[in-house]
A and B are shown apart, each in its own frame.
Chain A
């Protein structure tokens, strides 16, 4: 949720030229302070990542370099656990399904509540933000029973999407609420309705396209949440990417493929958020 607020509002909210009102000497000292802070924190955040990168490029002998671990991402298999690639596939499929279900469930509901049942708005908000206060480890304790029942019908790890949608609700809700708040929903829907549009058309073809940016926001946040999820899959005994990495690390503690896969996943997430941040800025500039 925090990411959303920051990405949407930061640049606009910041008062331009914070340092302008300051005396010269104080400004110089502030700059020294900033550079020291950036260096120290930069090192703290970079070093573990660099160490991981270095380990992913470790050759057969200590201190040598090789790309083996990166090539292994596609082929790694260890006894007793499913192949790495299948776990990656499942996780990506889960991400797609979760995003789709989240959108289908949340977007029409939020627009509908906004237009027709505003007295329910508060309830919906509370329900959406509730997963923040119920840790996933707690959810899993209760879900165990429900999943035991579902498992009679299907054993695929894809069934995890049911819970992942719940986990994504707070993040998706905040992203979508920001988008919905920024457009004049009532006028748009009245215009469309008076031209004879059905409610379906109003929601899918009139309002939803106007909140494209926040829908993208919600999708990316959901996406990155699913890629990083461990607790629920682990405790319900399903194998997704994180569980797979965990199992590999139990078998072979320093397998290079751990670090190459983790690093690749991280780069992927970073690229997504960078795209998001730039797309967001361009839209704002035009509007």
Chain B
């Protein structure tokens, strides 16, 4: 940082020398304070409150309530929905990503697909439930699916609508990273298309694919708006139950239910995202 010191003298402020200079990190205080108040503090509240009973006394035994069959039911519901929608989304999204990647890299088609994916990946929310309601729901224009309100199939299908575009966005760089030379080399050595994918392309893409799968899983796990607009009478998944617990304090006695469920979600997402980060690092090795 020798450079910084020399440049500093050039514009020495008028008060220089009258008091010791403020250390540079002070400039980041507004940001750190903001994040502290609106991100770290609320998260801290969740963690602390989940370990207390409603009277404010410490109760570490609360953690064991995560194994309570009622609570477990919501986590199992979340898990089913996330697995269904992320596996379907990842497989279908990977196929679509490959179709997009094998086209003209500067073409209009590709540009359009990426822009559309960008919008549709964000197109969760209330609106998506409306759109499917009038497509295959009870008032559907296309057909009336009898399983539309079945959990997890109906809502799983709706979720793939934003999972596939997200997969395309996340997975496209990985497919772009496959070098033409690798395919040429394997073809020169007499490999069939199947052999190329089985022994070259597949293994190379696998870490990226699994990483993307985990990202999709986390994405589905925290989604709330769509399922709430789809069916708001019955709570199937954890976020719905958190919502119910926040608006009415019924349920498990002696436990801050919402906080406990929220803590469970944080733990789950943390595990999934750690896996994602590790796999991304592994995938990055080839995709330079």
Q: Are A22 and B183 in contact (CB under 8 A)?
A: yes
Decide yes or no whether B282 CB sits under 8 A from chain A: no
Of B51-59, B147-155, B199-207, B222-230, the stretch lying at the interface with chain A is: B222-230
What chain A residues lie within 8 Å of B222 (beta carbons)?
Answer: 135-138
Contacts A116-B4, A134-B266; A259 near B134 (Cβ below 8 A): yes
Decide yes or no whether B156 CB sits under 8 A from chain A: no
Pick the contact of B95 from A14, A30, A37, A113 — CB < 8 Å?
A: A37
Considering only CB atoms, which chain B residue lies closest to A230 in the complex?
Answer: B225
Which residues of B, 67-117, contact A by the 8 Å Cβ criterion?
A: 92, 95-96, 99, 101-103, 105-106, 109-111, 114-117
Q: A88-125 interface mask toward B, CB cutoff 8 Å, 1 = contact, 0 = none?
A: 00000000000000000110110011011100100010
Q: B34-49 interface mask toward A, CB cutoff 8 Å, 1 = contact, 0 = none?
A: 1101110111111001
What chain A residues lie within 8 Å of B141 (beta carbons)?
Answer: 51, 54-55
Of A161-169, A177-185, A208-216, the stretch lying at the interface with chain B is: A161-169
CA distance A245 to B179 in the complex (A): 47
Give the Cβ gap from B200 to chain A, nearest Cβ, in Å. 13
Of A70-78, A79-87, A139-147, the stretch lying at the interface with chain B is: A139-147
What chain A residues lie within 8 Å of B135 (beta carbons)?
Answer: 47-48, 51-52
CA distance A99 to B260 in the complex (A): 33
What chain B residues lie within 8 Å of A239 (beta carbons)?
Answer: none
Decide yes or no whether A65 CB sits under 8 A from chain B: no
Decide yes or no whether B126 CB sits under 8 A from chain A: yes
CA distance A109 to B161 in the complex (A): 37
Q: Are B11 and A137 in contact (CB under 8 A)?
A: no
Q: A259-271 interface mask toward B, CB cutoff 8 Å, 1 = contact, 0 = none?
A: 1001001100110
Q: Are B123 and A186 in contact (CB under 8 A)?
A: no
What chain B residues lie within 8 Å of A11 (beta carbons)?
Answer: 105-106, 110-111
Decide yes or no whether B221 CB sits under 8 A from chain A: yes
What chain B residues lie within 8 Å of A234 (beta carbons)?
Answer: 225, 228, 243
Which residues of B, 207-264, contact A by the 8 Å Cβ criterion?
A: 218, 221-222, 224-225, 228-229, 232, 239, 242-243, 246, 258-259, 262
CA distance A18 to B30 in the complex (A): 48
Pick the contact of A34 from B99, B164, B166, B228 — CB < 8 Å?
A: B99
Which residues of A, 248-286, contact B by the 8 Å Cβ criterion?
A: 249-250, 254, 258-259, 262, 265-266, 269-270, 273-274, 277, 281
Pick the contact of A262 from B39, B43, B131 — CB < 8 Å?
A: B131
Pick the contact of A246 from B103, B164, B228 — CB < 8 Å?
A: B228
Contacts A127-B35, A186-B3; A277 near B180 (Cβ below 8 A): no
What chain A residues lie within 8 Å of B193 (beta carbons)?
Answer: 26
Give the Cβ gap from A183 to chain B, nearest Cβ, in Å. 17
Q: Which of A34, A137, A273, A274 has the most CB of B within 10 A?
A: A137
Which residues of B, 155-176, contact A by the 8 Å Cβ criterion?
A: 161, 164-166, 169-170, 172-173, 176
Q: Are B126 and A242 in contact (CB under 8 A)?
A: yes
Decide yes or no whether A7 CB sits under 8 A from chain B: yes
Prevailing SS type, chain B contact patch: helix
Decide yes or no whether B139 CB sits under 8 A from chain A: yes
Decide yes or no whether A132 CB sits under 8 A from chain B: yes
Decide yes or no whether B273 CB sits under 8 A from chain A: yes
Give the Cβ gap from A206 to chain B, nearest Cβ, in Å. 13
Categorize the interface residue count of chain B. 35 or more
Prevailing SS type, chain A contact patch: helix
CA distance A156 to B179 in the complex (A): 54
Give the Cβ gap from A60 to chain B, nearest Cβ, in Å. 16
Q: Are A117 and B269 in contact (CB under 8 A)?
A: no
Give the Cβ gap from A242 to chain B, nearest Cβ, in Å. 5
Q: Are B184 and A21 in contact (CB under 8 A)?
A: yes
Q: Are B259 and A6 in contact (CB under 8 A)?
A: no
Q: Are B131 and A52 in contact (CB under 8 A)?
A: yes
Q: Are B42 and A3 in contact (CB under 8 A)?
A: no
Q: Are A235 and B127 in contact (CB under 8 A)?
A: no
What chain A residues lie within 8 Å of B266 (beta carbons)?
Answer: 133-135, 138
Give the Cβ gap from B251 to chain A, nearest Cβ, in Å. 14
What chain B residues lie within 8 Å of A139 (beta carbons)?
Answer: 39, 42-43
Give the Cβ gap from A127 to chain B, nearest Cβ, in Å. 5
Contacts A51-B135, A135-B269; A144 near B225 (Cβ below 8 A): no
Q: Which of B28, B32, B101, B179 has the most CB of A within 10 A?
A: B28
B residues within 8 Å of A by Cβ? 3-4, 7-8, 10-11, 24-25, 27-28, 30-32, 34-35, 37-39, 41-46, 49, 92, 95-96, 99, 101-103, 105-106, 109-111, 114-128, 130-132, 134-135, 139-142, 161, 164-166, 169-170, 172-173, 176-177, 179-181, 183-184, 187, 193, 218, 221-222, 224-225, 228-229, 232, 239, 242-243, 246, 258-259, 262, 265-266, 269-270, 273
Give 9 CB contacts A-B under 8 Å.
A14-B110, A15-B180, A112-B27, A116-B4, A137-B243, A141-B258, A146-B41, A190-B3, A224-B119
A residues within 8 Å of B by Cβ? 2-3, 5-7, 9-11, 13-23, 26, 30, 33-34, 37-38, 41, 44-45, 47-49, 51-52, 54-55, 105-106, 108-109, 112-113, 115-117, 120, 124, 127, 130-146, 162-163, 165-166, 169, 186, 189-190, 193-194, 196-199, 224-225, 228, 230-231, 234-235, 242, 245-246, 249-250, 254, 258-259, 262, 265-266, 269-270, 273-274, 277, 281
